[in-house]
Amino acid sequence: MKILMVGAGSMSESLVKGWIDSGISPQSITMTNRADRSRLVTLADQYGVQTTTDEQIEQYDVVVLAMQPEGVLGYVSQKTWTNQLVISVAAHITPLEIETVTNCGAVSAMPNTPVAFRTGMTGLWFGEQLSESHRQQTIELFERVGETVETNHTTMPYLMAAAGCSPAFFYEIVGAMTPVLTGAGFDEQAARRIIAQAMKGSAELLLHEDRPTAALIEDVAAPGGPTDRGVHVLREHHISQAMYAALMESAREES
């Protein structure tokens, strides 16, 4: 299987790193971009992938469109397609838009950057023209680097907000918590490790628990104790409304 990555930014690199760590040969991956040639050299040195500045689509089985959304349809309309599996990771691009231009089966995928460490969450919106084998191949590719969930026109924007955008929300929270620990005497790295490990453990627990989140809070927060007092402060500062509004804003299609 030969994979072409169109776009060499953070999402493209995260996928490539995860796929190589999952056992895909770097030699079967080719990366390209439009302008920043030094970035291609760096990626080739770091991962052992191939790079090109003159890609011939017919040489690839899978083409991953990983450029900014506004470049996707212009790019696909300039190329000649011969039954490639076309996967766009660009926000707000639909499989139908790609299938109409390429006449190939297409998938709109919405991964997140944790795919780099094979702990991603990817939404998959399958196009009407996609063959069963290409559908299976897509699932297999993204399950190498984390979990997948099927999405559609209605659910995709919310999946994007909750999984594609939310790492930045979590980093914002970590950024807010860190000064408390550095102020107490931990260095920056130790502070990050403490908070990240607590987040990772909480995530693991959530994945193994069916009980509602309120019950999980009760497990940690004895009435009047330190956790309970902290949770009250979060509520006084309307964290629920803030998180809800952030997700709704990220899910909103720009006009």
Per 3-state DSSP, what percentage of the chain is helix, strand, and coil (rounded to 5)?
55, 15, 30
Binding window for ligand NAP (CB under 6 A); candidates: 3-11, 127-135, 180-188, 204-212 = 3-11
95 binds ligand NAP (CB under 6 A): no
Q: Categorise residue 94: left if φ over 0, alpha if ψ from -120 to 50, beta otherwise.
A: beta
Contact between 101 and ligand NAP per CB under 6 A = no
Binding flag, residue 104, ligand NAP (CB under 6 A): no
Q: Does 26 bind ligand NAP (CB under 6 A)?
A: no
Candidate segments 34-42, 127-135, 137-145, 187-195, binder of ligand NAP by CB under 6 A? 34-42
For residues 165 to 204, the per-residue mask of contacts with ligand NAP, x marking binding by CB under 6 A and - elsewhere, is ----------------------------------------
Sign of CA dihedral 202, 173, 109, 95: positive
Q: For CA atoms 96, 97, 98, 99, give the dihedral sign.
A: positive
106 strand-pairing partners: 86
Q: Confirm or reject binding of residue 67 to ligand NAP (CB under 6 A).
A: yes
Taking the complex as a whole, how short is the minimal distance between the CB of residue 8 and ligand NAP, in angstroms?
Answer: 4
Q: Does 56 bind ligand NAP (CB under 6 A)?
A: no
Residue 118, sorted as left (phi over 0), alpha (psi -120 to 50) or beta, turns out to be left
Q: List 215's β-bridge partners, or say none.
A: none
> Does 110 help bind ligand NAP (rule: CB under 6 A)?
yes
- The window from 31-39, 97-105, 233-241, 242-250 that contacts ligand NAP (CB under 6 A) reads 31-39
33 binds ligand NAP (CB under 6 A): yes
Is residue 6 part of the contact set for ligand NAP (CB under 6 A)? Answer: yes
Please, what sign has the CA dihedral across residues 1, 165, 108, 208? positive
Strands (DSSP E) contained in 84-212 are: 85-88, 106-110, 120-126, 146-150
Cβ-based nearer residue to ligand NAP, 36 or 188: 36
Stretch (H or E) spanning 4 = strand 3-6
Which of residues 43, 90, 98, 101 is near ligand NAP by CB under 6 A? 90
Is residue 112 a contact point for ligand NAP (CB under 6 A)?
yes
Which segment (83-91, 187-195, 207-215, 247-255) binds ligand NAP by CB under 6 A?
83-91
- Which of residues 50, 164, 191, 195 is near ligand NAP by CB under 6 A? 164
Kindly provide the residue ranges of all beta strands, DSSP E only, lying in 10-165, ordered along the sequence.
29-32, 50-51, 62-65, 85-88, 106-110, 120-126, 146-150
Is 122 near ligand NAP (CB under 6 A)?
A: no
48 contacts 69 by C-beta, under 8 angstroms: no
User: Which residues have CB under 8 Å from 17's CB, separation 6+?
Assistant: 47, 116
Residues in contact with ligand NAP by the rule CB under 6 A: 6-12, 32-36, 66-69, 71, 75, 89-91, 110-113, 164
